[in-house]
Every structure is written in structure tokens, then in C-alpha cells.
Amino acid sequence: MQDFLLNDEDRAFRAEVKAFLNRELLPVTPAIEDRQDWEAVKRVVRSLGEAGYLKLMFPERYQGSLSRPGLTHATLLSEEAAAINYAFETTIATALSCAYPLHRYASPEVRDRYLQGIIDGSEIGAICVTEPKVGSDSARMETRISFDQGRNEYVINGFKRYISNASKADTYIVYGISDPEVPAQKGMSAVIVPKETSGMSFPRTYTFMGRRGCVVGEVEFRDCRVPVDHLLGSLNEGFRIMLSMFNFERIILGGSGLGVARSAFAIAREHAQRRESFGQKLGCKQLIWDLIAEMSWRIDAAELLTYRAARLYDAGELKPKELMKPASMAKLVSTEVATYCADRCVQILGGDGLTKEYGRAEQLYRDARALPIVGGTNEMVKYLIASCDLPEIKPNL
């Protein structure tokens, strides 16, 4: 049964947000995909913020009509947005992943200064973890965050790449090593860097095979200084902050994968029922039935794991370390299902699946490919899952 883990209120929320996105996002998708029109992206982010949808994960700030906001609803928002345009959805998912540590770890004054703009949709956030020499092995990052006692400031030096919303974001959460003498787990910190801070620059923007319209680029820090109160949590607490942020991001990514998978499935199903081959509907053929069934059960499995993780997060009873496994499973399965469904959808459509003239199948195929790589690759999340099952064994990374 579809959405077995949701209740009537969740379903009402889904219907409401879907109608909103159909009205606000759907009409501008050609501008986003074909012209990479950032202003179009920003306008929809702003309207989502104005409608209150970007504060769903922060119940005490939420003043919408629904009584039970939370990550479950934020995940549904991601799912519905990704079903329409995954590039747009990554922009808000990244901004929300930036809002999460701000909300949880910034001092009240600093939090209010930077969080407000993100949740009201007037500003965008970014997360800076990945570096040229360091991707999956983030504990080896080379960016340094040092403390200048004389000026009471943190000084950042380093180079980050593949940063979503780079150059467009207003607020950057930057991770770096603050104590190189100890392992990164105990020597990493996270700071907030507002846009236009001297010493921060954006050398390059990338061109990707998919996710067109979401800006991804490099961010360089050269003696970039922020006031002492821009540290998140305590000094050297960055690794712990990063892990809890990744739990949050991975549950949202479960929603992104589901949205892309559902979109691909809907296109494939419609084609199987309409297209004729050998004098019959394509959908009559057993090999096509097989593909439809293979997509269908995978989507249900992804849905169950994603909503389970979101529900566990909202229940608030698990520590970040305990949430790691369900969040990783949601990310792993949903993103694999998205690439599977996007690929099978193209196959069912044949030549129509490869050309823009016949709809979105080719776009979904290109977009979906990023999902098993972002937010920690699927190889890495498998290590996390297995490390929960084999706690006595240190994985050979």
C-alpha cells in the first residue's frame, strides 16, 4: 500500500504542497532546465519561504496551518519538488542542510541573523565539506580553521569543490581542521561564513551532465576571517556536527530519490499503456511487465525506508549515532531506485526516451545519476550501515 507510514494529516500536507509546486515550480521548469535561469530558481525558493514551507523542520518557528511540522513533511516537500525538477530541489535541500546546523549549533543571536533569511526564502545556504584531494575521506580535509586571539576571529584557509549553491548562497557552513595534532574526529570545527566576506572567492562553476539550473562550484578561502561567535557548537566539535547534518541530509535525499523514481515510473507506465508494438499495447509484453514490477517494488521499498527514517528523526528519541543506519539506508535505497527507474524508463520508451522532443525521460536519466554520489557516496553509506552491524570491526577504508 502506498504511503503506509503516513497519516491523513501527512497526506493532506502532500496534496497541499504538490498543488503549490504545480502552480509555482512547474511553469518555470523549462527556464531552469534549458536556460539555467537562477532568478527563476530564486523566485520559487522565495515563494516557498513566504508560504512557510522552509521552516517545517523547526517546529517552534513554524506558524503554518498544520499542527505537526517536522522532517517527515520536509521530506515530502523534497519528494514532490524532485518529482517536478530535481535541480530545483537540490537548491532547497542544500539550503535546508545549511539551516539545520545553524538552528541546532549557532548561538541564539547568530542563529537568528542567518537562519531567518534561509527559512523565509529570501536567502540561500551552502555546505562546504568536499575538497580537490579529499572527497569521501572527509576526515582528511586540508582546510584549516585557526583562531587569532589578538583579533578574536577564526581564520579559514583552504579550497572546497563541488559546492552546491556556490557563489549564489548568502551563508556558507565551512568545515575545516582546527587541531591538526589529533584525529579529525576530535580536531575539526565548523564556522559560518557570510557572503562577501573578504578572502572568500569562487574560482569556477562546473557544468554537470544533469541537475541543470543548480549552481555547483569551487569556493576558495585565503585568510578569510569571521568573528569568534561564528563558530558552530564548540571548538573541535565539527565532526560531530557534520555527522548529524549528514543524517538530516540523507533523509531529505531519500525524498529526492523517491521523487525522481516516481516521476520516471509514471512516464514509463503511461508509455507502456499507450504505445503499441507487434499489434498490441507494449504493456502486454511479459518483459515489460517485469520492468514495471521491478520498478514498483523498489519504489515501495524506498518509500518505507525513507518515511521510517523521517519518522524516527521526528520522534526525537534516537541519538545521531543511532539514526545513522536508518538515514543511510533511506539514502542508499532511494538513490539506487532513482537511477534504476530513470534507466528502465528510458529503456521502455526506446528512442523516445533519449530525445528531449518526447518529454523528460532523458532529463531524469541525467539528473538521477548524481544521487548515489552526493551526500556521501553509496559506497560510503554502505560502510556506515555495516559499521553499525559490525561494531567490533574497524572497516578497512
Ligand X SMILES: Cc1cc2nc3c(=O)[nH]c(=O)nc-3n(C[C@H](O)[C@H](O)[C@H](O)COP(=O)(O)OP(=O)(O)OC[C@H]3O[C@@H](n4cnc5c(N)ncnc54)[C@H](O)[C@@H]3O)c2cc1C
Binding site for ligand X (CB under 6 A): 94, 127-130, 135-136, 162-164, 208, 211, 216, 370, 373-374, 376-377, 379-380, 397
3-state secondary structure of 145: strand
Measured from the CB of residue 376, what is the shortest distance to ligand X in angstroms?
A: 6
CA pair distance 28, 44, nearest whole angstrom: 9
Decide whether 93 or 291 has the Cβ nearer to ligand X. 93
From the list 79, 383, 384, the residue with the least C-alpha distance to 259 is 79
Say how many residues make up the chain: 397
| The C-alpha cell that represents 103 in the structure block | 538552528
Measured from the CB of residue 337, what is the shortest distance to ligand X in angstroms?
A: 18
Decide whether 17 or 327 has the Cβ nearer to ligand X. 327
Decide whether 208 or 358 has the Cβ nearer to ligand X. 208
Decide whether 82 or 128 has the Cβ nearer to ligand X. 128
Decide whether 29 or 91 has the Cβ nearer to ligand X. 91
Measured from the CB of residue 218, what is the shortest distance to ligand X in angstroms?
A: 11
> Is 74 in contact with 13 (CB distance < 8 Å)?
no
Measured from the CB of residue 129, what is the shortest distance to ligand X in angstroms?
A: 3
3-state secondary structure of 245: helix
Measured from the CB of residue 66, what is the shortest distance to ligand X in angstroms?
A: 29
CA pair distance 211, 338, nearest whole angstrom: 14
Decide whether 5 or 373 has the Cβ nearer to ligand X. 373
> Is 83 in contact with 259 (CB distance < 8 Å)?
yes
Strand partners of residue 159: 220
Measured from the CB of residue 382, what is the shortest distance to ligand X in angstroms?
A: 9
Measured from the CB of residue 206, what is the shortest distance to ligand X in angstroms?
A: 8
Phi, psi for 368 (deg, rounded to 5): -60, -30
Q: DSSP state, 29?
A: H
User: What residues contact 315, with CB distance under 8 A and at least 6 apart?
Assistant: none
Residue number closest to ligand X, CB atom: 135
Decide whether 129 or 364 has the Cβ nearer to ligand X. 129
Whole-number Cα distances in Å, 117 to 21, 41, 170, 249, 307: 21, 16, 9, 20, 28
Measured from the CB of residue 56, what is the shortest distance to ligand X in angstroms?
A: 20
Taking the CB of residue 270, how many other CB atoms lie within 10 A of it? Answer: 14
State the DSSP string of 328-347: HHHHHHHHHHHHHHHHHHHH
Decide whether 116 or 377 has the Cβ nearer to ligand X. 377
Taking the CB of residue 287, how many other CB atoms lie within 10 A of it? Answer: 9
